[in-house]
Amino acid sequence: MTPAINLLQKKGINFDVLSYQHDPSKQQFGLEAVEKLKLPAEQVFKTLVLEDTEHQLLVAIVPVSQQVNLKMLAKAAKVKKVQMAPQQKVENTTGYILGGVSPLGQKKRLMTFVHQSVSNYEKVYVSAGKRGLEISIDPNDLCALLGAKLADF
């Protein structure tokens, strides 16, 4: 059980958990999930934690097959600039280790942006909060739980 799974159960949200054996030599965690679970890459979303120039953290949820456009994300967040947050800060704030950061059940709720392509699907996959564990969820439930803003970045 992870905080993400606990949150979904507590809220009565419909979801499934998929698991695979994580290979420690793999550093592209989302793409590893795509490969091992045989999922469409455009439906598997990675959770990235970034910080702005004021050192405030925010979350970006984007398909694993894409990179975040930092300028477009900063514009969506109405800040000057964003960059990837330091690993220790990410882990301390979310309660998850890199490669297993779930957008759900984080220790501290952060402003969250979800790539607008999420609305193209009836089901998407996000980390369940542990390497080798994915959650299948309706994107509307995901966005509602997170209070997320849809954006193109």
pLDDT band at 124 (very low <50, low <70, confident <90, very high): very high
Per residue in 30-42, pLDDT tens? 999 999 999 999 9
pTM: 0.94
Q: How far apart are CA 103 and CA 134, in angstroms?
A: 11
pLDDT exceeds cutoff 90 at 97: yes
Q: Compute the C-alpha angle 46/1/114, nearest 5°.
A: 25
Longest dimension (CA), the chain: 40
Per DSSP, the residues of 91-118 read HHHHSS-TT---SSS-SS--EEEEEGGG
Q: Phi and psi dihedrals of 39, rounded to 5? A: -105, 155
Q: Name the token pair of 56.
A: 């405030």
For the chain, list the domains and their CATH numbers: 3-151 (3.90.960.10)
Distances (CA, A) of 103 to 22, 25, 80, 111: 19, 24, 23, 11
State the pLDDT confidence band at 94, using cuts at 50, 70 and 90. Answer: very high
